[in-house]
Amino acid sequence: MARKWWQDKVVYQIYPRSFQDSNGDGIGDLPGIISRLDYLADLGVDALWLSPVCQSPQDDNGYDISDYQNIDPMFGTLDDMEQLIAEAKKRNIKIIMDLVLNHSSDEHRWFQEAKKSKDNPYHDYYVWRDGEEGVLPNDMKASFGGSAWEWVPELGQYYFHQFSVKQPDLNWENPKVRREIYDMILWWMDKGVGGFRLDVIDQIAKEPDKKITTNGPKLHEFLRELSKETFQKADLITVGETWGADPERAKRYSNPDGSEFSMVFQFEHVMLDQEEGKEKWDLSPLPFVELKKNFAKWQKELHGSGWNSLFWNNHDLPRIVSRWGNDKEYRVESAKMLATILHGMQGTPYIYQGEELGMTNVRFPDITHYRDIETLHMYEERLEAGYKKEDIMKSIYAKSRDNARTPMQWNDSTNAGFTTGTPWIEVNPNYTEINAENETKDPDSIYNYYKKLIKLRKANEIFTEGEFHLLLEEDSQIFAYTRTTETETMCVIANFTATPAPCRLIEKWNKTEKLIHNYKTENTDGILRPYEAIIYIDR
């Protein structure tokens, strides 16, 4: 497979409302991001994926867009966006925008028109079914609680929404909708945007009468048209968010011929601690051996025939160091170990803001401190269903999306240097210890470890090219694998637990060159210390 220019790049995800506030209103904004570009350039990332900053009533923190061609005043102006693109460019950083194309906000002009009458030219931009009040077209459920159908009495019709009632689904069957979308994307491309992340893109080809949401029959037809009409006109980085992807589907999304996207976000690995038929709130332990095999499967399947992204975190997921690491006595070691495992693989690493500092989950005393629509709906639903408050809070501590959304911890001043005002969501109280100012100064910090991993990827082709091979498959503590090219072999070895783990690989690999190690002293006895991780290379 011919190498693509973007394959050795590293992406950093910014959740704008929680990154840096510049004007004291408690909400992060574009000028705030601009003021932190030097930090990001120092870290060494090549592109910034911004969660949505377009105009939005913020029902789902911007994933409900009311004007795709404007910036929400809360975040700044179009001028600020152009300035961000230009300032980032000076530092060789591209801006990746978040495209929410499955649905719009109900406050979008299209929807406002659509609900005026059945023969309004915009009516068919959305998905409607005739019916009677109280008699739903079917029993489909919306992601953020309740039915997927919302009654509009003036029309005598229901509209379809896979997410909240304020996120009506767009009708991709309508060629006019598709054309509007393409023109909008071309307009952003013209402004110098370097790429796009496509929100729930495998859900656009829904067929609600057949209860199909994900992977509808027309999905790839739509995606190929979308790609051809827009992204292929420039050489962009594009990534589709596809919760329903298996390796076969992922190969189509990320086909090296460029007919759909550059790469894919698939979620199999982050769903392993959720049992079949259960919700994410029903907690169960991580099946570690399965995790290794799952990664191995994806590494093998996509090698040479697709391209994966590598991530532990995003704005929807709990903090990885609290989830599968140890955010207490081994926070630093385990954060570095998790980074080592992930960055050693083939694919494009995504670092979610604060991950490079080892930021942790938060435990607010009660529900009044939480802001996420999904968390709030679940809380109400489970209370009604008779769950105990303590148990609901336990699920929230483990899985709430707000764990990832507390403000970025810049320093130990009030509100972690995020805002001079009152933050829209409280800062994690551990900011006095965990913050960017401390970590940029400390050569042994998690931050400087990430910086080193990013440098290694750029300096060693094997990170991008090497073929993956899982070692010690059934070992219940050690995650180990090799990457090989025609001339070199690299070996990644890590203890995924807080218990020492004897490892027969160490003796042999100690004779080779060490690329990175999360402990300061050599491993001389072949026993991996808690969360110890090493990358070796045999040149």
Dihedral (Cα; 98, 104, 106, 110), 10-degree rounding: 130
What's the min distance (Å) between Cβ of 482 and ligand TEU? 33
What's the min distance (Å) between Cβ of 407 and Ca ion? 11
Decide whether 72 or 327 has the Cβ nearer to Ca ion: 72
Residue 21 interacting partner from ligand TEU, Ca ion, none (CB closer than 5 to 8 Å by kind): Ca ion
Decide whether 26 or 192 has the Cβ nearer to Ca ion: 26
Decide whether 49 or 295 has the Cβ nearer to ligand TEU: 49
What's the min distance (Å) between Cβ of 84 and Ca ion? 14
Residues 6+ apart with CB under 8 A from 140: 147, 148, 149, 160, 208, 211, 213
C-beta atoms surrounding 504 within 10 Å: 11
Residue 29 interacting partner from ligand TEU, Ca ion, none (CB closer than 5 to 8 Å by kind): Ca ion
φ/ψ of 149, rounded to 5, equals: -115, 135
What's the min distance (Å) between Cβ of 25 and Ca ion? 4
525 is catalytic: no
What's the min distance (Å) between Cβ of 352 and ligand TEU? 12
What's the min distance (Å) between Cβ of 64 and ligand TEU? 7
Decide whether 27 or 71 has the Cβ nearer to Ca ion: 27
Cα–Cα distance for residue pair 126/170, rounded to 1 Å? 5
Decide whether 14 or 27 has the Cβ nearer to Ca ion: 27
Among 241, 260, 333, 402, which one carries the catalytic annotation? Answer: 241
Among 8, 60, 72, 199, which one carries the catalytic annotation? Answer: 199
Query: Measured at the alpha carbon of residue 276, what is the angle toward residues 275 and 281, in degrees to the nearest 5?
Result: 45
What's the min distance (Å) between Cβ of 198 and ligand TEU? 10
Single-letter amino acid, residue 403: N
Q: Alpha-carbon Rg of the chain, whole angstroms?
A: 23
Helix-strand-coil split of the chain, %, nearest 5: 35, 20, 45
Closest to 535 in 3D by CA, of 269, 523, 527:
523
Decide whether 23 or 476 has the Cβ nearer to Ca ion: 23
What's the min distance (Å) between Cβ of 62 and ligand TEU? 9
What's the min distance (Å) between Cβ of 426 and ligand TEU? 20
Decide whether 32 or 208 has the Cβ nearer to Ca ion: 32
Residue 382 interacting partner from ligand TEU, Ca ion, none (CB closer than 5 to 8 Å by kind): none
Q: What is the DSSP string of 390-412?
A: HHHHHHHHHH-GGGGTSPP---S
Decide whether 28 or 168 has the Cβ nearer to Ca ion: 28
Helix (H) or strand (E) holding 436: helix 436-441
Mapping DSSP to helix (H, G, I), strand (E, B) and coil, where does residue 457 land? helix
Decide whether 37 or 155 has the Cβ nearer to Ca ion: 37
Residue 197 interacting partner from ligand TEU, Ca ion, none (CB closer than 5 to 8 Å by kind): none
What's the min distance (Å) between Cβ of 526 and ligand TEU? 41
Decide whether 63 or 159 has the Cβ nearer to ligand TEU: 63
Residue pair 118/157 in contact (Cβ under 8 Å)? The answer is: yes
User: Can you point out the beta strands (E) in 248-339?
Assistant: 263-265, 309-310
Q: What is the DSSP string of 141-185?
A: B-TTSSBSEEEETTTTEEEE-SS-TTSPBB-TTSHHHHHHHHHHH
By CB under 6 A, name the binding residues for ligand TEU: 60, 63, 100, 143, 163, 199-200, 243, 280, 315-316, 374, 401
Residue 327 interacting partner from ligand TEU, Ca ion, none (CB closer than 5 to 8 Å by kind): none
Unique residue bearing structure tokens 């009677």: 132
Q: Which residues is 98 bridged to in the sheet?
A: 197
Cα–Cα distance for residue pair 447/354, rounded to 1 Å? 9
Residues 6+ apart with CB under 8 A from 198: 99, 101, 238, 239, 240, 241, 261
Mapping DSSP to helix (H, G, I), strand (E, B) and coil, where does residue 429 land? helix
Cα–Cα distance for residue pair 56/345, rounded to 1 Å? 37
Dihedral (Cα; 441, 443, 444, 446), 10-degree rounding: 60
Residues 6+ apart with CB under 8 A from 515: 456, 460, 490, 535, 536, 537
Residue 333 interacting partner from Ca ion, ligand TEU, none (CB closer than 5 to 8 Å by kind): none
Task: List own/partner pairs for 142-147 with CB under 8 A and 24 or more apart.
Answer: 143/374, 144/60, 144/373, 144/374, 144/377, 145/377, 145/378, 145/380, 145/381
199 is catalytic: yes
By CB under 5 A, name the binding residues for Ca ion: 21, 23, 25, 27, 29
Closest to 479 in 3D by CA, of 302, 286, 284:
286
Show which residues are catalytic: 199, 241
